[in-house]
Structure 1
Amino acid sequence: MFGFSIFLNEGLTSETTDYIEEMAQNGFSGIFTSLHIPEDDAAQYRKRLTDLGAAAKSSNLELMVDISGEALDRAGFSFDRVDKLNEIGVTGLRMDYHISNQQIAKLSQQMLIALNASTITETDIQELRAASANFDHLEAWHNYYPRPETGLDKEWYHKKNKWLQGYGFTVQGFVPGDEQLRGPLYQGLPTLEEHRGLHPLAAALDLLADTDKVYIGDSGLSAETLRQFSFYMKEETLKLRVEAFDKQVEYVLGTHINRQDEARDVIRSAEARFKKIPHVEPLPARARELGSVTIDNANYLRYMGEIQIVKRTLPADEKVNVVGQVIDQDKALIQHIKAGQKFSLESVEK
């Protein structure tokens, strides 16, 4: 499941409402927002949350709200009447700080509750059990980290998730956006530090190895990245944008499947042998860098027409034509084209 973030530092505009509808139409299933309220904005935040809840309901989206101990009260809501939150479209609460396990257990009887995945301990679990928490309504959501160098270590994250999933928790993590990054630092909002600045879909696929829900931490995705997410969710296909080097690039564009016998150095199109490709004249040989898109020429005899994406730097070969290059932004997607994975090559202007 993929979700995205909408923050309440300003009221919902028509552009934001359109963005919510667009994300829903492209396969996203949930919204994350935060109710950490400046003192002078409490009344505004109640209206903004109500408006966001209405937009979420209109698009059939889940709405998870990050709260601290006093945030609900200052916004005019109450832990004692969470049904009022359900009425406006809030489907879950993420517990931040100053909320006891006893209170969490009580709330879990009424709605979905997300615990802080990074800080929950064995003691917390035992206290929740003792307080008769409904573990079917408990999930574990990680933080995002605005400041560079403070995101989680990947190995630690995997170990923590394995422990959480051992207790049956659904686990969530954040990846950065690539448009409308959140201030004041504008450095992305990833859970893992190594994902900062990475292609959002590549980061999301990385998390999906052991993460059940992946949300975009920042407030926006570029139109092209959203299209790549949508294509992956609807077609299970990774779309890669390719800068053309020669008109022979036309031979390689379109949808392919990586062969089941996955090669070490290259991604091999299983579809290439079924394509009707004319005689492929040799081009001047050039080094094959990560992301080079190639087609074997007539010098490769019966291999003529084989289509590949290069996964590691390889030397020039007079039998192999380099006809294009995966653009820098999309190179991180290449490592996710495993055996049997569908991918599509699309030509773009430099």
Structure 2
Amino acid sequence: MFGFSVYLSAPITACTKNRVARLAKSGFEGVFTSLNLPEDDPSVLLQRLTDLGSECRGLRLELTVDISTVALERLGISLDKVNELTHIGVTQLRIDDGILMLSVAKLSQQMGIALNASTISKQDIELLKDSQANFNNLEACHNYYPRKNTGLEEKWFNQQNAWLKKNGFTVIAFAPGDSDLRGPVFATLPTLESGRYQHPLAAALNLLNNNVNKVYIGDADLQVETAAQFDSYFRFNTLLLHATTEIDLPEYLTAGDLVFHQRPDVARDAVRLREGRSLKEKTIKPANIKERVRGAITLDNKLARRYEGELQLIKRNLPADPTVNVLGYISQNDLDLLEACGANQAIQLVF
């Protein structure tokens, strides 16, 4: 499941509602927000949360709210009255540190609860079991890290997630956005430091490969083109890659709806598109022979003999080869998605 974030530092305006509807239409299924931000005005937070909850209910989106004891005190909300939050559309509370496991167990009998995935311990799990927590309503959600160089290390993260899943938890983490970045640092909001400046879809897919079940976009928005790439992946399991050209393309590459596929045997240096040679229309003369930098789109020419027509997306810098024409390049913004191309991955090139 994929979700996105909406923060309550500003009113839920018509523009906000349009963004929520646009992302829901693109295939996102959940919304994350926070009551923990100290800079937010507590006198308006509940009304804004109510407005957001109404939108989420209308679009059938899950709504997860990050809370803490301090935040609840600021808002005058008691843990004994969480029905006040479920009534306005909140489906899950993300519990920050400071709330006792006995209280968590009690809350889990009423609604979805997400614990801090990075800090939960074996002792916490035993206390939850002893307190008869409803583990069907319990998940584990990592933090996002606004400050550079503070995000989690990938190997530890993967091991922690494997342990959490072994103990029955669904694991949640955050990928960065690429629009409307949150201040005061404006360095995106990822869980993994390695994902901080990655393409949001590439970062999200990497999280799924690291024992994560649900991914939320930490930042408040995605560029329209990026949202379309998520939509393509959600609907058709297809990676949409934007590209530019340097020389005339074969006619079959100009068909906007043509979908290619990575071969089942994944190469180290290039994404090899299995349809390339079968689509060859005529003899391919050598042209634009040059260094093949990462992101280059290449076509093997007649000098490659039986490989003539082979179409590749280059994943690492390679020298020029007289048998290989450079047609153009994958957009700089989309280069991270080359690493997300697994066996048989569907790929659509948009020139």
TM over 0.5: yes
The amino acid that maps onto 1:229 is F
Partner of residue 207, structure 1 = 207
1:318 and 1:251, CA in 2 relative to 1: closer, same or farther beyond 3 A?
farther
Partner of residue 346, structure 1 = 350
Task: Confirm or deny that 1:224 pairs with 2:228.
Answer: no
Task: Confirm or deny that 1:291 pairs with 2:295.
Answer: yes
Cα offset for 1:265?
A: 2.1
Gaps of 5+ in 1: none
| 3-state secondary structure, aligned to 1:248 | coil
Q: Contact 1:284–1:318 (CA<8 Å) still a contact in 2?
A: no
Cα offset for 1:39?
A: 9.0
Gaps of 5+ in 2: none
Aligned-partner Cα distance in 1 for 2:251–2:239: 19
| 3-state secondary structure, aligned to 2:249 | helix
| 3-state secondary structure, aligned to 2:87 | helix
Q: Contact 2:65–2:92 (CA<8 Å) still a contact in 1?
A: yes
Aligned-partner Cα distance in 2 for 1:268–1:277: 18
Cα offset for 1:269?
A: 1.2
The amino acid that maps onto 1:255 is V
Aligned-partner Cα distance in 2 for 1:219–1:76: 26
| 3-state secondary structure, aligned to 1:184 | coil
Q: Contact 1:252–1:295 (CA<8 Å) still a contact in 2?
A: no
| 3-state secondary structure, aligned to 2:64 | strand
Aligned-partner Cα distance in 2 for 1:75–1:25: 32
Aligned-partner Cα distance in 2 for 1:249–1:174: 40
Cα offset for 1:102?
A: 0.4
Partner of residue 320, structure 2 = 316
Aligned-partner Cα distance in 2 for 1:70–1:148: 26
1:42 and 1:345, CA in 2 relative to 1: closer, same or farther beyond 3 A?
same
| 3-state secondary structure, aligned to 2:274 | coil
Q: Contact 2:9–2:40 (CA<8 Å) still a contact in 1?
A: no
Aligned-partner Cα distance in 2 for 1:38–1:255: 47
Where do residues 134-173 of structure 1 align in structure 2 (5 Å cutoff)?
Answer: 134-173=134-173
Where do residues 67-216 of structure 1 align in structure 2 (5 Å cutoff)?
Answer: 67-209=67-209, 210-216=211-217
Partner of residue 245, structure 1 = 246
| 3-state secondary structure, aligned to 1:50 | helix
Partner of residue 11, structure 2 = 11
Partner of residue 53, structure 2 = 53
Cα offset for 1:16?
A: 0.5
1:111 and 1:315, CA in 2 relative to 1: closer, same or farther beyond 3 A?
same
Aligned-partner Cα distance in 1 for 2:38–2:182: 17
The amino acid that maps onto 1:329 is N
Q: Contact 1:77–1:85 (CA<8 Å) still a contact in 2?
A: no
Partner of residue 258, structure 1 = 262
> Could you tell me the percent identity over the aligned residues?
48
Cα offset for 1:142?
A: 0.1
Q: Contact 1:242–1:325 (CA<8 Å) still a contact in 2?
A: yes
Cα offset for 1:211?
A: 0.4
Deviations 1:99-142 (A, max 9, x none): 11000000000100000000111111111111111111100000
Aligned-partner Cα distance in 1 for 2:163–2:84: 34
1:272 and 1:304, CA in 2 relative to 1: closer, same or farther beyond 3 A?
same
Aligned-partner Cα distance in 2 for 1:188–1:265: 29
Aligned-partner Cα distance in 2 for 1:282–1:160: 51
Length-normalised TM-score, structure 2: 0.95
| 3-state secondary structure, aligned to 2:240 | strand
Task: List structure 1 runs of 4+ shifted beyond 6 angstroms.
Answer: none
Cα offset for 1:283?
A: 0.3
Task: Confirm or deny that 1:267 pairs with 2:271.
Answer: yes
Number of aligned positions between the proteins: 347
The amino acid that maps onto 1:196 is R
The amino acid that maps onto 2:307 is Y
Higher mean alpha-carbon deviation, 334-343 vs 81-90, is at 81-90
Q: Contact 1:257–1:340 (CA<8 Å) still a contact in 2?
A: yes
1:311 and 1:37, CA in 2 relative to 1: closer, same or farther beyond 3 A?
closer
Cα offset for 1:267?
A: 1.4
Q: CA RMSD in A?
A: 1.6
1:249 and 1:102, CA in 2 relative to 1: closer, same or farther beyond 3 A?
farther
Q: Contact 1:30–1:62 (CA<8 Å) still a contact in 2?
A: yes
The amino acid that maps onto 2:287 is L
Aligned-partner Cα distance in 2 for 1:21–1:338: 31
Q: Contact 2:247–2:288 (CA<8 Å) still a contact in 1?
A: no
Cα offset for 1:75?
A: 2.7
Length-normalised TM-score, structure 1: 0.95
Cα offset for 1:277?
A: 2.0
Alignment equivalent of 1:305, drawn from 288, 299, 309: 309
Cα offset for 1:345?
A: 1.1
The amino acid that maps onto 2:302 is A
Higher mean alpha-carbon deviation, 324-333 vs 245-254, is at 245-254
Aligned-partner Cα distance in 2 for 1:38–1:282: 62
